[in-house]
Structure 1
Amino acid sequence: MDAPPLMLFGPDRSAERVVRPRRALRAGVSQVFAAVVGLALGLLLPRIDGGYQVTAVRVVDVLKVSGVGVLSVATLIFSLLFLVVQWAAGNFSHRLLLFRSDPVVWRVFALVVGLLVYSVTATLAIGSHRTVSVAVPTTALVLTGAALVLVRKLQLTALRSIQLAHVLADVRQRGQKVLRALYQEDTESDAGEARRLPDVTSTVVWGGDTVLLAQVDVLRLVRTATRADVVVVLKVLVGTALQPGDVVAEVRGGRVPDAEVLTTVVGDVERAFHQDPMLAFRLLSDIGLRALSPAINDPATAVQVLDATEGLLRLIAPGDLGDRSIADEAGAVRVVLRLPSWEDFLRVGLDDMCRAASDAPMVLSHVRELLVRLRTRAREDRRPSLDERLVWVEEELAARHPPFLGGGTGR
């Protein structure tokens, strides 16, 4: 087996964003951190004796108002979160988690928790003091202002999450980001003889519960393979389900404990954009299929979805697709990352919508124009798959909607 083309990564390359697993600060950890900071400030600031002093009674009133306002902000956050997620799932896709996963949600709540803890702690710490440092109310006002700024940002984010154009743009941009990182333009393969991979010596089998392969800690896997002087070939795509007994990877050229390979596999109950190039296509297809369902019957939305899908397909049509090799510092291939093929992207991005659009001539006509434009950008070896779909679309138009065969999109 020949090694696939190398994926180049480093501090100045886009692939660095995807080979490292994304471990964002969890909401619970951020809230605990904010609470600890609020507690520390609430205990320390009232002890400041020097500087400008203000009446303690007025400061306590300010802190009480801040505390009541914090409770109102927290209520607003949860209301927005529940309503927006519910609305987006019902109208777009149950897999669409753009707003819920946005860092601004848990950052706002963490700041609210910190401000609440600070207000309560400072009020108790003031106690019977007649005057306190002006730093106490100033800190409360600064934190309140920061909370209001973030709440406004949260509201704007929530409003964007229920607008179709913004949702499609966000999905397309996130998809383009991971596609550029995985299928980077500076990906190189050896100009001479292709690298040959060693023979398979063992397989790594998934023994846990059913999970989705959300991410792979590629750098850790490279280090593990380097220490054992082996090549690890991943056999599953990021975003697919791992069932007990599934083969996760092949080990070539030696032995490595299964546990060391499996610890680099990050499982979850939901897919994530970070290393999943197919997720954007899946979400766009979901939105388009829902729009074409008999209950919705909104072909104009399906046309907008096709425009976003075309933007993703045009990005990868001219370049190299398929699996990628990742080498160690010495240049030896250590990991082969499995990635989708051109047919995979077409199948998920177009085929389901084409079938669902049989009774929607405006959509079929737009698909035909999409395929014609895409054919001019695609590599020669990818045109037959586009031609096959183009023939099917034209036959459907000729049989079901002859007037649209020579027309436009009808937008």
Structure 2
Amino acid sequence: MDAPPLMPLGPDRSAERVVRPRRALRAGVSQVFAAVVGLVLGLLLPAVDSGYQVAAERAVDVLKVVGVGVLSVTTLIFSLLFLVVQWAAGNFSHRLLLFRSDPVVWRVFALVVGLLVYSVTATLAIGAHRTASVAVPTTALVLTGAALVLVRRLQLTALRSIQLAHVLADVRQRGRKVLSALYTEDTAGSAAGARRLPDVTSTVRWAGDSVLLAQVDLLRLVRTATRADAVVVLSVAVGTALQPGDVVAEVRGGRVPEAEVLTALVGEVERVFHQDPTLAFRLLADIALRALSPAINDPATAVQALDATEGLLRLIAPAELGDRSIADEAGAVRVVVRLPAWEDFLRIGLDDVCGAASDQPMVLSHARGLLGRLRDRAREDRRRSLDARLAWVEERLTARHPAFPHGAGAGGGDLRAPRPRAGARRGRPGRRRPRGPPRGPLTRAAPP
């Protein structure tokens, strides 16, 4: 087996950002941290007896109003946000987690928790004191202002998540980020095909429950393979469902413990954008398929989703796709990553949508223009697959919509064939009736 092209790494390489598994700070840890900070501030600030002092009763009143007010507003907003999330999932896709995975959600909740802990702790710490430092109510007001700013940002983010244009733009942007990092401009010239990989010494099988491969700690695999003087060839791609007993990797040339390989594979119940180049295509196809369902029947939404898909396909059309190798500092190949090929992107992003749009001339005509533009931009070896799909779309348009003009529908114009004017006969121009006074039962005869 020959090694695939190298994936360049380094501090100035964009691929460095995606080979590390980015595990977001969990909501529980952030809330605990905010609660600890609020507790410390609530104990220390009331003990300050220097500087400007205010009456303790007024400071306690401020703390009570701030705590109760912020808690009420946050409770109301989060209740509305749950409805927004449910609406977006039901109208776009259940796999759309843009809003739920936004860090602003758990940051707002953590700040509110810290503010509540600070208010309660400072109120108890003041106790029977007659005066308190002005820093106590000032800190409460500053934290309240920060919480309101984040709450407003959270509300605007939730409103964006129910607007189609913003959702498609966010999905396309995240997809472009992953594709640009994995398929950089210089990967085509960094071929490693002359390097022959050693023979297989062992295979690694998945020993956990059924999960989705969400991320891979590639840097950890490189260090592990370097110590064992081996090559780890991954057999599954990110986003693949792992079942117990499935082969996930092959070890070549050395001995690597299975536990070290399995530890580098991060399994989740849901797919994430970080290292998954096909997730954006899957989400865009889901939005288009839901729009084409008989219950919704919204072909214009499917056309917008195809526009976003075209932007991603045009980005990778001239790029070198397929598997990638990762080398160590000495230049020896240590890890081979499984990445999707050109056919995989076309199958996920276009095939299902075109198949569901057989009775939608607007979508088929737009897909025809999309395939034609991709053919002009793609490499020579990829035009055969585009030609096959273009011929299929042309056949469906010709067989089911023979009167549909070539190229119509892409701009959102009228898709129906022009109807003849009233009174027109086949092969003759329409004749107009001579104008005269209206006739009917209520028409009176003209006086003599």
Instruction: Give me the TM-score of the superposition, normalised by structure 2.
Output: 0.90
Aligned-partner Cα distance in 1 for 2:192–2:162: 52
Q: Which contiguous aligned blocks of 4+ residues in structure 1 show a shift greater than 2 angstroms?
A: 188-193
Percent identity of paired positions between Structure 1 and Structure 2? 85
Matched, 1:285 2:285: yes
Matched with 2:115 is 115
**1:369-388 alignment to 2 at 5 Å?**
369-388=369-388
Note if 1:65 corresponds to 2:65: yes
Give SS of 1:24's match. Answer: coil
> Partner amino acid for 2:345?
F
1:319-334 to structure 2, matched below 5 A, reads 319-334=319-334
User: Could you give the per-residue CA deviations for residues 365-404 of structure 1, whole angstroms, max 9, x where no partner exists?
Assistant: 0000000011111000000000000000000000011222
Given that residues 6 and 324 in structure 1 are in contact (C-alpha distance below 8 angstroms), is that contact kept between their aligned partners in structure 2? yes
Over the residues paired in the alignment, what is the CA RMSD in angstroms? 1.1
Question: Taking structure 1 as reference, are residues 56 and 301 closer, same or farther at Cα in structure 2, changes over 3 Å only?
Answer: same
Contact 2:4 2:191 in 1 (8 A): no
**Could you tell me whether the CA contact under 8 Å between 1:6 and 1:325 is conserved in 2?**
yes
Q: Counterpart in 1 of 2:179?
A: 179
CA contact (8 A) 1:80 1:158 kept: no
- Structure 1 unaligned runs (5+)? none
Q: State the match for 2:38 in structure 1.
A: 38
1:407 Cα offset (Å): 3.5
Structure 2 spans left out of the alignment, 5+ residues: 413-448
CA contact (8 A) 2:2 2:194 kept: yes
Could you say which residue in structure 2 is the equivalent of 1:402?
402
Map 1:56-135; keep pairs closer than 5 Å.
56-135=56-135
Contact 2:5 2:188 in 1 (8 A): yes
Distance between the aligned counterparts of 1:332 and 1:301, measured in 2?
48
Pick the structure with more helix per residue: 1
SS of match in other structure, 2:51: coil
Alpha-carbon distance in 2 for matches of 1:189, 1:267 = 33
Distance 2:264 2:78 in 1: 34
In the alignment, residue 259 of structure 1 is paired with which amino acid? Answer: A
Task: Name the SS of the counterpart of 2:185 in structure 1.
Answer: coil
Counterpart of 1:148 in structure 2 is 148
Tell me, yes or no, if the aligned pair for 1:398 and 1:405 is still in contact at 8 Å. Answer: no
* Cα offset, 1:55, TM superposition: 1.0
Matched residues in 2 for 1:108 and 1:290: separation?
A: 32
CA contact (8 A) 2:289 2:302 kept: yes
Checking the alignment, whether the CA contact within 8 Å between 2:188 and 2:320 is kept in structure 1 is: no
Q: Does 1:356 align with 2:377?
A: no
CA deviations on 1:162-207 (whole Å, 9 max, x unpaired) are: 0000000000000000000111112255568711111111110012
8 Å CA contact retained: 2:66, 2:144: yes
Deviation at 1:84, TM superposition (A): 1.6
Q: Is the 8 A contact 2:213 2:266 kept in 1?
A: yes
Q: Match for residue 421 of structure 2?
A: none
Give runs of aligned pairs for residues 200-215 of structure 1, distance below 5 A: 200-215=200-215
Contact 1:287 1:305 in 2 (8 A): yes
SS class of match (2:319)? coil
* Counterpart secondary structure, 1:59: helix
Report the Cα distance in structure 1 between the residues aligned to 2:375 and 2:41, rounded to whole angstroms.
62
- Retained in 1: the 8 A contact 2:200–2:253? yes
1:81 touches 1:100 (CA, 8 Å); kept in 2?
no
Partner of 1:171, secondary structure, is helix
Paired residue for 1:311?
311
Deviation at 1:360, TM superposition (A): 0.4
Once the two structures are TM-superposed, the CA of residue 232 in structure 1 deviates from its matched residue by 0.3
Aligned amino acid, residue 248 of structure 2:
V
For residues 122-149 of structure 1, the C-alpha deviation after alignment (integer angstroms, 9 at most, x for no partner) is: 0000111111111111100000000000
SS of 2:141's partner is helix
Listed one character per residue, the Cα deviations across residues 337-360 of structure 1 (whole Å, up to 9, x for unaligned) are 100010000000000000000000
In the alignment, which residue of structure 2 is the partner of 1:365? Answer: 365
**Match of 2:321, as an amino acid?**
L
Are 2:95 and 2:283, in contact at CA under 8 Å, matched by a contact in 1?
yes
1:391 maps to 391
Specify the SS of the correspondent of 2:214: strand
After superposition, the C-alpha distances for 1:308-364 in whole angstroms (9 at most, x for unaligned) are 000000000001000110011111100001000100000000000000000000000
* Distance of 1:42 and 1:165 partners within structure 2: 45
Change (3 A) 1:201 1:87: same
Q: If the length of structure 1 is used for normalisation, what is the TM-score?
A: 0.98
Aligned partners of 1:326 and 1:336 also within 8 Å? yes
C-alpha distance in 1 between matches for 2:372 and 2:155: 41
One-letter amino acid matched to 2:117: V
CA contact (8 A) 2:2 2:193 kept: no
Q: CA deviation at 1:405?
A: 4.3
Aligned in 2, Cα 1:105/1:87: closer, same or farther, shift over 3 Å? same
**Count of residue correspondences:** 411
Q: Could you say if the C-alpha distance between residues 278 and 191 of structure 1 is closer, same or farther in structure 2, counting changes exceeding 3 Å? A: closer
User: Is residue 5 of structure 2 the alignment partner of residue 8 of structure 1?
Assistant: no
